[in-house]
Amino acid sequence: MKGDGIPDFHVASEVGALRRVLLHRPDLSLQRLTPSNRHRLLFDEVLWVRRAREDHDAFADVLRERGTEVLYLGDLLSETLDDPAARDWVLSERLSEAQYGSFHGELLRALGGMESAQLAEHLIGGLTVAELPFRPTGLWAAAADETDFVLPPLPNHLFARDPSAWIYGGVMISAMAHPARWRETVHLKAVYRFHPRFANADFHTWLDGEAHGPVASTIEGGDVLVVGNGTVLVGLSERTDGHAVDLLARRLFEKNAARRVIAVRLPRVRAYMHLDTVMTMVDRDAFCVFPEVVDRMKAWSLRPEVDDGGALGVQVTEESSLFDALADALDLDRVRVLTTGGDQYQAEREQWDDGNNLLTLEPGVVVAYDRNVDTNARLQRAGIEVITIPGSELGRGRGGARCMSCPIARDGL
């Protein structure tokens, strides 16, 4: 708890005043995105990085002007690496002997000797053969070009929402679905375990980024909405499956952090990779949704259930209406459903450009990309204050204001 009386780490809702948020400023990793590697790295286009950085700074300014403390992952990781134990842990997680065989030891020594800021920059931004301070040996090195990556760039750190998510009094480290994003969670784990700001703080770790059980299952933060009042809404999507949600629900129920998890099933396609690409909460009683997908989603409620032997289980009940279930969970008569703007073509375009992916700063105040004019106008007509930021560069990796932010302290409803 800081002097402002707000818990450092507690996210009690989707729309209560946003107090602290984690962002990642566009960096070296995006400079290494090319037409030939962008698909593997889950981007649809390359970015004009300088402009993306300016636009991202404008986003951070909006947050600060509204009283939100902005933390940057690059800074936190660099500060974390000042601790020798943290540095050893990160390097041992990132570099296995199996992967780097012939020059593993030399690489460990080279990275271990870097300044923290430089090491953080390369862990996120990648390291090329040309940047190695030694001549690597072995077949891989003999066959590699100077521009090949020894450490791959991780441009999707821009989308801070996904590798970890704060849910009530704890954090979920995601089990990421795509190899291009697997390594991100090492950095988040290191920060939450070792950084002085987090290391001695009192919070739960709901999931630790492991593969869950015999069937490897995955979950990402973009699928998790902390709707409040003891409820969490989770998407079963291209990235998140039911095993991980079952486990998350059980962990939340064990600590009485939540009473209900509502799960919805999305089509498994890239345009709707996470729930927050088609649905975000914008006010105490309102959601902004892409109806073509959301209207067809099946929904289930998960609640804690204690058996005769006293063991905690999870009871699953199918819901007939997602929005009735949400109204019930939020103690409302009904919720308002605000849809993507424009005709059918424009709505599909605006969904693709993250028109529904809004970051709510307080009830009824959202940050949105400027380009989604029809959706933004519709929100304004419904009484929502829309603060716009430029989206033409930042949106090229398919993420909006919500995707680019990881709230770590937020008030309740």
Ligand X SMILES: NC(=O)NCCC[C@H](N)C(=O)O
**Interface positions with ligand X (CB under 6 A):** 42-43, 156, 159, 161-162, 181, 222, 273-274, 276-277, 397-399, 403
Listed in sequence order, the residues at least 6 apart from 169 whose beta carbon sits closer than 8 Å to its beta carbon are: 7, 9, 10, 203, 204, 255, 257
Q: Are 44 and 342 in contact (CB under 8 A)?
A: no
- Output 80 or 164, the one with its CB closest to ligand X: 164
CB atoms < 10 A from the CB of 4, how many? 12
- Output 59 or 159, the one with its CB closest to ligand X: 159
Q: What are the counts of helices (DSSP H) followed by strands (DSSP E) for the chain?
A: 16, 20
Q: Least distance from C-beta 398 to ligand X, angstroms?
A: 5
Burial annotation 292-303 (CB, 10 A radius, 16+ → b, else e): bbbeebebbbbe
- Output 161 or 284, the one with its CB closest to ligand X: 161
Nearest residue to ligand X, scored by beta-carbon proximity:
222
Q: Are 373 and 295 in contact (CB under 8 A)?
A: no
Q: Least distance from C-beta 275 to ligand X, angstroms?
A: 8
Q: Least distance from C-beta 294 to ligand X, angstroms?
A: 15
- Output 157 or 195, the one with its CB closest to ligand X: 157
Output the DSSP codes for 82-110: TSHHHHHHHHHHH--HHHHGGGHHHHHHH
Supply angle C-alpha 212, 302, 407, rounded to 5. 70
Q: Least distance from C-beta 224 to ligand X, angstroms?
A: 9
Select from 189, 294, 191, 207 the least CA-distant residue to 245.
Answer: 207
Q: Least distance from C-beta 179 to ligand X, angstroms?
A: 11
What's the token pair of residue 277?
A: 């690409």
Q: Least distance from C-beta 226 to ligand X, angstroms?
A: 14
Q: Which residue has the tokens 């969970």?
A: 329
CB atoms < 10 A from the CB of 147, how many? 11
Q: Least distance from C-beta 238 to ligand X, angstroms?
A: 9
- Output 79 or 162, the one with its CB closest to ligand X: 162
- Output 127 or 177, the one with its CB closest to ligand X: 177
Q: Are 265 and 272 in contact (CB under 8 A)?
A: no
Q: Which residue has the tokens 């009940």?
A: 317
Active site residues: 403
Taking each helix axis from N to C end, the angle separating 84-94 and 73-81, rounded to the nearest 10 degrees, works out to 110
Q: Which residue has the tokens 């970890």?
A: 164
The number of CA neighbours under 13 Å toward the Cβ of 24 is 31
Q: How far apart are CA 275 and CA 289, in angstroms?
A: 10
- Output 10 or 396, the one with its CB closest to ligand X: 396
